[in-house]
Amino acid sequence: MKLFNTLLLLGLLLTGCSSQAMLVEKQAFEIKSFKTENGAVISPVKVGWEAYGELNDDKSNVILITHFFSGSSHAAGKYAEADAAPGYWDAIIGPGKAIDTNKYYVLSVDTLVNANVFDPNVITTGPATIDPATGKPYGLTFPVVTIGDFVEVQKALLDSLGIDKLHAVIGGSMGSFQAIEWATRYPERVERLIPVIGTAYIDAWAAVRLERWAYPIKQDPAWRGGDYYQHGQPEQGLTTALAYIIQDAVYPTGFNMRYPAPETDKAPHSDILASFSAWDQLMAHAKLRAKMQDANHILYLIRASQLYRAGMGDNWQQALSRVQAKTLFLPASGDQLLLPEMAKASAEAMQAAGKTVDYAEIPGIWGHLDGVVGISAVADKIRSFIESE
């Protein structure tokens, strides 16, 4: 996470955000028995959640933030003043900010199979969780879960809090899938929808690109068919997968600013086995991230993402016709992972169904990552959208 935290702090400094972040607390939510879309039952399901601001009397000021692939519910604030960086969207969530916690009750939930299962501030249920029936980690006996399942867990939490209306649902990347699924599945509950660096569908190109993240894990002998917990993580496969994820999230301009050019290396000119410094540094960054993550959880998140299309049926365009929420798509101009064209196609499908849809792009040099570290560039647009009638 070192590279991500550095970029996040740089973004906060450039936008003049105060270093005095809100102090927040992780809370836990448990479902005694949860039935997945595939019909499997997980008993129990536990996830973490955070909230910022105050819930009003009629519970009408709720904004749900749905997080990205390698993220968590830590969207804003700090757990302690000494934390290296605040939550990933602290630039836009807080008192007086675009998502103003003086007005709104902002809530976020750790997904099932969260990647950061070994982070003490993450609560999730997935393959690394102990199966009560066996006393051992689930491993690959854990059922395949979908974006729809993530939404159903979030709904269960909101139902337990007596919240039946969302002023807005806002999510980035994989979080955009969840946000769109909310508006598609429960249209009467969602008033505003903001998919950031997202799409309403995953096509063959995107699904195969995501499979490239899974491949090094599955090819690592230490993965042991997913049954590695008594031996330790498949470190080489996991680290390589995370290196691909980091690179795919960054536009070449930003990437080349961070990593050295090939001509600066001498050894590769004469040794076919010598690696480039850029690759070595990328792998070093990935290895740091791998300390908090689990290989099987990464595989399950990949599969949930690959399977996504709005409504989780055979016709995502038709499913979007159920959306009642005012919608604002915010792709990143340089996104090489979830291309702006995918957001445009999603917006056009909604417009064809007679829906009110706005569209704007996030500028920057970081590509997909601009949806996190560059989000302040569209802060005013987000503020005006969520405050509109």
Catalytic residue IDs: 335
> From its phi and psi, is residue 110 left (phi > 0), alpha (psi between -120 and 50) or beta?
beta
Report yes or no: 342 and 335 within 8 Å, Cβ to Cβ.
no
3-state helix/strand/coil string of 164-181: CCECEEEEECHHHHHHHH
Q: What does the chain come to in residues? A: 389
Number of helices (H), then strands (E), belonging to the chain: the values are 12, 14
CA distances from 167 to 55, 89, 254 (A): 12, 18, 35
Signed CA dihedral, 242, 144, 179, 50: sign only: negative
Give dist(CA 174, CA 193) in Å, integer.
Answer: 14
Burial of 109 (0-12, 13-18, 19+ CB in 10 A): buried
Structure tokens at 10: 């740089």
| 3-state SS class at 48 | strand
